[in-house]
Amino acid sequence: MSTFLGIPGLRKTQPAHDPNILPGTAPIPDEPLRWGQDFPHAAREALKNEQMRRNLGHATATIRAKRAQVVGEAPDWEDLRDTGSQLKINTLAALPALLEQFETNFTARGGTVHWARDAQEANEIVTALIKATGETEVVKVKSMATQEIGLNEYLAEHDIAAYETDLAELIVQLGEDMPSHILVPAIHRNRAEIKDIFLRRMEHTPEGMTDAPRELAMAAREHLRKKFLAAKVAISGANFAAADTGTLTVVESEGNGRMCLTLPETLITVMGIEKIIPSFTDLEVFMQLLPRSSTGERMNPYTSLWTGVTPGDGPQNVHIVLVDAGRTKALADDVGRAALKCIRCSACLNVCPVYERVGGHAYGSVYPGPIGAILTPQLTGSTGHSDPNNSLPFASSLCGACFDACPVKIDIPSLLVHLRARVVDEDKAAHRPTGWGAAMSAASYVMADSKRFALAEKGTGALRALAGKKGYVAKLPFPANGWTQSRDLPAPPKETFRQWWDRTHPQDSDPATQNNGDNNE
Q: Encode pLDDT of 198-227 as tens digits.
A: 998 898 888 899 999 999 999 999 999 989
On average, the pLDDT of the chain sits at 90
Taking residues 401-425, what's their average pLDDT? 96
Compute the 3-state secondary structure of the chain and give helix, strand, coil in percent, each to the nearest 5. Answer: 50, 10, 40
Residues 333-344 have a mean pLDDT of 97
268-286 mean pLDDT: 98
Share of the chain above pLDDT 70, in %: 93
Pairing of strands 161-164, 233-236: unpaired
Residue 459 has pLDDT above 90, yes or no: no
Question: Which range, of 4-13, 215-224, 465-474, 479-488, averages the lowest pLDDT?
Answer: 4-13
- Whether the CB-CB separation of 139 and 267 falls below 8 Å is answered with no
**β-strand pairing of 302-306 with 266-272:** unpaired
Give the pLDDT mean for 456-478.
85
Which pLDDT tens digit goes with each residue over 97-118?
999 999 999 999 999 999 999 9
Residue type, 240: F
Q: Are 342 and 85 in contact (CB under 8 A)?
A: no
Q: Which residue has the higher pLDDT, 365 or 488?
A: 365
Kindly tell me if the per-residue pLDDT of 148 is higher than 50: yes
Q: What is the pLDDT of residue 5?
A: 52
What average pLDDT score do residues 146-169 get? 96
pTM (two decimals)? 0.85
Residue 95 has pLDDT above 80, yes or no: yes
Please give the average per-residue pLDDT across 410-438, as a whole number: 87
- Mean pLDDT calculated for residue range 125-150: 97
> What is the rounded distance in angstroms from the CA atom of residue 365 to the CA atom of residue 172?
15
Of 81-95, 259-273, 338-352, 377-391, the poorest mean pLDDT is in 377-391
- For residues 521 and 519, what is the distance between their CA atoms, to the nearest angstrom? 6
